[in-house]
């Protein structure tokens, strides 16, 4: 029976609590991952943060209370492909343009990981079966769990790792 130790990623990309959200976004994008553990200066696990946390932050009203979307000054700025009935009704979603994060720099530069992270990360021991891990992730509706061992952070395992393991079981001749 496969265990978490068989499918986890052992070289874990992580961030510190004082990492800016902008830097976090770059780490996630550059590494092509959706979340990371958060460790303190002693490398002790203190939380987990994900792209969902960034989206949640971005969806909040800016500190000044203004809307995140603004209407173009002139109707002529609408693209030519917008049907006239949308123009007349003023309901075309594209008629509203998003404000950029540069206009609200606190969203990325002043807010730190510690402000948006989940401070009680979901952890599993390395000897947990993949079946139990799958149930754990599914029941809690989460996409990753941090793997702990005797020395603390041992790895990370995601729902994609579980899918890969299931695929290998269902189709053992396919390449991983």
Residue-wise pLDDT tens digits, 80-110:
544 444 444 444 444 444 444 445 545 578 8
- Local structure of 138: helix, strand or coil: helix
Residue-wise pLDDT tens digits, 122-175:
889 999 999 999 999 998 888 999 998 887 789 999 999 999 998 888 887 766
Residue 7: pLDDT over 80: yes
Residue 175 burial by CB count (10 A; 0-12/13-18/19+): exposed, middle or buried?
A: exposed
126 secondary structure, DSSP code: T
Q: What is the mean pLDDT of the chain?
A: 78
Determine the Cα–Cα distance for residues 45 and 92; give it in Å rounded to an integer.
46
User: Domains (ranges, CATH) in the chain?
Assistant: 4-59+105-170 (3.10.580.10), 69-98 (no CATH)
């Amino acid at each position: 029976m496969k265990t978490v130790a068989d499918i986890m990623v052992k070289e874990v990309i992580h961030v510190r609590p004082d990492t800016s959200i902008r830097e976090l976004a770059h780490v996630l994008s550059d590494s092509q991952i959706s979340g990371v553990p958060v460790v303190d200066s002693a490398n002790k696990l203190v939380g987990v943060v994900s792209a969902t946390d960034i989206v949640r932050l971005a969806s909040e009203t800016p500190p000044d209370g203004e809307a995140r979307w603004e209407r173009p000054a002139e109707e002529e700025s609408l693209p030519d492909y917008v049907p006239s009935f949308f123009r007349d009704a003023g309901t075309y979603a594209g008629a509203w343009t998003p404000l950029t994060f540069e206009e609200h720099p606190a969203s990325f530069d002043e807010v730190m990981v510690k402000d948006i992270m989940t401070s009680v990360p979901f952890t599993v021991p390395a000897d947990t079966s993949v079946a139990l891990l799958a149930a754990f992730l599914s029941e809690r509706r989460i996409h990753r769990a941090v793997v702990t061992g005797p020395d603390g952070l041992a790895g990370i395992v995601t729902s994609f790792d579980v899918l890969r393991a299931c695929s290998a079981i269902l189709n053992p001749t396919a390449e991983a």
